[in-house]
């Protein structure tokens, strides 16, 4: 067998999730719910918080992300297309020299990676990046 | 869209050679125009620095035919913008006369007819003549190779890129960046790169494990030329492990990494560079966007998407110079660098008309030396073609129609899939098809022709996924190839819809029945990025098919209905 069943399943699960747009809102709302719980429904503004991730994941099982959150005491990361959206929470103490964090996360499909930062004054900032998970195949 | 009219034109142009229809007039017109090497090389040397750019050679050492695409759609903000303009529209845009050398070099129509007058293009012995002539004007000109050099031919495959390294070394480039080279496998790439007498650049080539820059591929090189400092920053193809088999080079990670690009631009500026050149394998639309995101780049020498434009495109304050493919063009860019900045430029896209530009004798001998051990295999005639065989186009080309037919017939499949790559020279009606010609359009290190079953639903997922890699309105999500070619399967595509909604009306062509999402279909294809793909090499499949047919005639292909073009 040329394309192994395992490969095909990997392909179809990734692609299936990417194409079943009908499923996304349900998961997105799960992420929204968890974010609302975290912030207590507080309004979020854009600020110096930034998240950097590849536009297209080279491997959906290990996607590198970097977060820069000057002035934050806490940053929580969510993947809104994963069955369990909450990914990680980073806390920065008052003596933290830098407010940056890097990690790798697993993404089931094309989705948004969302960072929510809690600032020293208790306000929240939000930043997100869309990461595409694709079958790939034909480059020029 | 691919209209019936376009296909008729191709058919008529081809038949003109034998049948002398009205379309043949172009050839006569063309023959009346005399073209000389001096005209092709004529250049009023300007400023204090010269760049020479060649890219996407795909191991084409010898002159070939190369037909440009008739269908090359832009989406989003790039709809109708160059290079997404073809044929007569392209000629009107640049004031190119019908039947002129530029018509033949830069547009697709009447290709077979015009090829009789203008002949083959490219050949690295001719390129050597051009490079030497430019260096005679400007001895310290910087020669830059945009990559996709060590891939694409029988001899390149057999020597694992050594033939190309030997020949390019003789051209004495100053730097290079990469794409298909990595499909030789990371060990071989490292071995060849370590042997290079010039810089192997890639600011976006990172170590996969630690996500850190590599020692083998520095981000940039500084050149002191013409009394100034020029930085050349390399940008390798960003999506290598996605568009090509990542398991062949697991040590490396890529990506666009425009933040790191900005950091490198800032670093070279701080180190005294008065001019910043990016040697890029991003593809044109990605370069165009990157020029608006990253500030401080003067020139992007653009490769990957195989576009050739007679003048640079401007994006922000950056000029973008795309230089075609397959050795068909060399770009010369003269720059006036003064007082810490680029004050002006002069540019020429030089078409390498192989019958007009004299081959450099030393280079010709070196090329023949690379080919000599394989001459018998290369030159064996497998069949003939009555049709123009070409690849370029967003949805299909006659070479891929033939390859899909070979897969359907030799692998006894209902549906064939052929990758939407943009390399591969053309053949004109009446040409012999040699083994070399077949390898020129199929050669790769993962070319096994698989046979498997896919459900109708999964086939749609495949088409949707590939379509989004081409027609996503954000260039940063485009991988720069064309649509996967289908045999035995027709469909409709609306290029402006989002992923999941572009493809409709899929039909099995043999029966005319709609594709059933739940049914399994026998599918043959090649160039799978999965490790362990089994099957005969695609070049053997195609050779067996052509040998059986003897003479190839490719019927018009109307199986893709394009909306929103």
Say which DSSP state B308 is in. Answer: B
What totals of helices (H) and strands (E) does chain A contain, helices first? 2, 8
Q: Does A1 reach chain B within 8 Å, measured CB to CB? A: yes
* Percent of chain A clearing pLDDT 90 (strictly above): 62
In chain B, which residues have their Cβ closer than 8 Å to the Cβ of A52? 259
Q: Are B206 and B234 in contact (CB under 8 A)?
A: no
How long, in residues, is chain B? 565
Whether the predicted pLDDT of A22 surpasses 50: no
Q: Do A140 and B480 touch (CB under 8 A)?
A: yes
* Percent of chain B clearing pLDDT 70 (strictly above): 94
Tell me, what's the pLDDT at B48? 97
Q: Which two tokens stand for residue B161?
A: 């890129």
How long, in residues, is chain A? 140
Q: Does A136 reach chain B within 8 Å, measured CB to CB? A: yes
Q: Choose among B255, B460, B479: nearest Cβ to A139.
A: B479
Burial letters B259-297, b for 16+ CB under 10 A, else e: ebbbebbeebbeeebbbbbbbbbbbbbbbbbbbeebeeb
pLDDT-based confidence at residue A136 (cuts at 50, 70, 90): low
Distance in angstroms (rounded) separating the CA atoms of residues B349 and A34? 56
Q: Are B150 and B156 in contact (CB under 8 A)?
A: yes
Q: Choose among B452, B477, B481: nearest Cβ to A140.
A: B481
Q: Do B423 and A12 touch (CB under 8 A)?
A: no
Strand intervals (E) in A38-135: 44-45, 50-52, 63-68, 72-79, 86-91, 100-105, 111-119, 124-131
Q: What is the pTM of this model?
A: 0.89
- B326 min Cα distance to partner chain A (Å): 12
Q: Which domains does chain A possess?
A: 5-131 (2.60.40.2470)
Cα dihedral B154, B159, B161, B162 in deg (nearest 10) = -130
Mutate to test the interface with A, among B209, B211, B242 (most CBs of A within 10 A): B242
Domain with CATH 3.60.21.10 in chain B: 49-68+118-368
Q: Which two tokens stand for residue A66?
A: 């970097």
Whether the predicted pLDDT of A3 surpasses 60: no
Determine whether domain B49-68+118-368 maps to CATH 3.60.21.10.
yes
Block residue for tokens 């590198």:
A64
Q: Choose among A19, A58, A132: nearest Cβ to B246.
A: A58
Q: Does A5 reach chain B within 8 Å, measured CB to CB? A: no
State the Cα angle at B381 between B376 and B384, rounded to 5°: 165
Domain with CATH 3.90.780.10 in chain B: 380-563
Q: Do A2 and B484 touch (CB under 8 A)?
A: no
H helices of B122-252, in order, are: 124-137, 154-158, 162-171, 186-195, 240-243
In chain B, which residues have their Cβ closer than 8 Å to the Cβ of A15? 458, 461-462, 464-465
- What is the homologous superfamily of the domain B380-563 according to CATH? 5'-Nucleotidase, C-terminal domain (3.90.780.10)
How large is the average pLDDT for residues B76-94?
Answer: 96
Q: Does A16 reach chain B within 8 Å, measured CB to CB? A: yes
Q: Are A104 and A61 in contact (CB under 8 A)?
A: no
Q: Do A139 and B468 touch (CB under 8 A)?
A: no
Tell me the average pLDDT of chain B: 93
Whether the predicted pLDDT of B30 surpasses 70: no
Cis peptide before B83 (omega within 30 of 0): yes
Distance in angstroms (rounded) separating the CA atoms of residues B173 and B277? 15
Whether the predicted pLDDT of B323 surpasses 90: yes
Q: Do A56 and B479 touch (CB under 8 A)?
A: yes
Residue B109: which of B35, B26, B4 has the closest Cα?
Answer: B26
In A, minimum Cα distance to B502 occurs at: A19
Q: Do A136 and B479 touch (CB under 8 A)?
A: yes
Q: In this predicted structure, which of A91-105, B148-162, B196-210, B296-310 has the lowest mean pLDDT? A: A91-105
The answer, yes or no, to whether ipTM is higher than 0.90 is no
Residues 91-130 of chain A whose Cβ lies under 8 A from any Cβ of chain B: 102, 110
Distance in angstroms (rounded) separating the CA atoms of residues A107 and A62? 8
Q: Are B538 and B442 in contact (CB under 8 A)?
A: yes
Distance in angstroms (rounded) separating the CA atoms of residues B100 and A55? 42
């Amino acid at each position: 067998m040329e394309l192994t069943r395992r490969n095909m399943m990997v392909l179809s699960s990734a692609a299936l999730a990417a194409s079943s747009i009908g499923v996304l809102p349900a998961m997105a709302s799960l992420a929204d719910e968890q974010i609302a719980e975290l912030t207590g429904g507080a309004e979020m503004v854009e600020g110096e918080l930034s998240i950097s991730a590849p536009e297209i994941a080279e491997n959906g099982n290990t996607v590198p992300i970097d977060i820069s959150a000057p002035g934050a005491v806490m940053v929580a990361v969510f993947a809104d297309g994963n069955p369990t959206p909450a990914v990680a929470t980073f806390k920065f103490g008052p003596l933290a020299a830098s407010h940056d964090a890097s990690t790798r996360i697993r993404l089931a499909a094309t989705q948004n990676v969302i960072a929510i930062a809690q600032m020293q004054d208790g306000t929240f900032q939000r930043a997100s990046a869309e990461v595409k998970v694709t079958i790939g195949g034909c480059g020029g | 869209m691919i209209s019936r009219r376009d296909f008729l034109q191709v058919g008529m142009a081809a038949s003109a050679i034998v049948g002398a229809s009205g379309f043949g007039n172009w050839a006569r017109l063309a023959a009346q125009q005399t073209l000389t090497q001096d005209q092709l090389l004529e250049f009023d040397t300007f400023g204090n620095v010269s760049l020479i750019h060649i890219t996407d050679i795909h191991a084409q050492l010898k002159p070939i035919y190369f037909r440009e695409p008739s269908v090359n759609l832009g989406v989003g903000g790039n709809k109708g913008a160059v290079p997404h303009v073809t044929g007569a529209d392209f000629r009107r845009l640049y004031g190119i006369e019908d039947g002129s050398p530029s018509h033949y070099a830069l547009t697709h129509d009447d290709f077979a007819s015009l090829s009789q007058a203008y002949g083959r293009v490219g050949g690295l012995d001719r390129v050597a003549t051009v490079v030497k002539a430019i260096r005679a004007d400007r001895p310290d000109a910087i020669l830059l190779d945009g990559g996709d050099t060590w891939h694409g031919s029988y001899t390149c495959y057999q020597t694992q890129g050594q033939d190309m390294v030997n020949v390019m070394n003789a051209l004495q480039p100053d730097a290079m960046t990469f794409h298909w080279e990595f499909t030789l496998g990371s060990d071989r790439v490292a071995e060849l790169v370590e042997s290079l007498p010039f810089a192997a650049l890639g600011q976006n080539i990172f170590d996969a494990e630690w996500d850190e820059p590599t020692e083998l591929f520095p981000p940039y090189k500084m050149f002191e030329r013409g009394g100034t400092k020029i930085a050349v920053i390399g940008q390798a193809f960003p999506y290598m492990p996605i568009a090509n088999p990542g398991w062949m080079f697991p040590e490396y990670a890529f990506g666009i990494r425009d933040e790191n690009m900005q950091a490198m631009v800032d670093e070279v500026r701080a180190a005294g560079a008065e001019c910043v050149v990016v040697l890029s394998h991003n593809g044109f639309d990605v370069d165009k966007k990157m020029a608006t995101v990253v500030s401080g780049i003067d020139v992007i020498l653009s490769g990957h998407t195989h576009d050739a434009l007679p003048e640079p495109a401007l994006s922000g304050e950056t000029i973008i110079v795309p230089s075609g493919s397959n050795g068909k063009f060399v770009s010369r860019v003269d720059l006036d660098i003064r007082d810490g900045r680029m004050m002006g430029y002069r540019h020429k896209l030089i078409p390498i008309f192989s019958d007009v530009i004299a081959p450099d004798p030393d280079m010709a001998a070196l090329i023949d030396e690379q080919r000599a051990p394989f001459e018998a295999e290369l030159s064996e005639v497998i069949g003939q073609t009555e049709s123009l065989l070409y690849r370029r186009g967003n949805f299909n080309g006659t070479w891929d129609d033939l390859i899909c037919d070979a897969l359907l017939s030799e692998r006894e499949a209902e549906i064939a899939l052929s990758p939407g790559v943009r390399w591969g020279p053309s053949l004109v009606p009446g040409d012999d098809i040699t083994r070399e010609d077949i390898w020129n359009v199929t050669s790769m290190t993962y070319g096994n022709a698989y046979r498997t079953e896919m459900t109708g639903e999964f086939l749609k997922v495949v088409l949707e996924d590939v379509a989004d890699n081409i027609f996503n309105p954000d260039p940063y999500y485009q991988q720069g190839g064309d649509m996967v070619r289908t045999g035995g399967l027709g469909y409709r595509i609306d290029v402006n819809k989002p992923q999941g909604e572009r493809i409709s009306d899929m039909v099995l062509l043999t029966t005319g029945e709609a594709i059933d999402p739940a049914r399994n279909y026998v599918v043959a294809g090649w160039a799978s990025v999965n490790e362990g793909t089994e099957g005969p090499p695609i070049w053997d499949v195609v050779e067996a098919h052509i040998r059986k047919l003897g003479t190839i005639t490719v019927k018009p292909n109307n199986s893709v209905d394009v909306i929103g073009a």
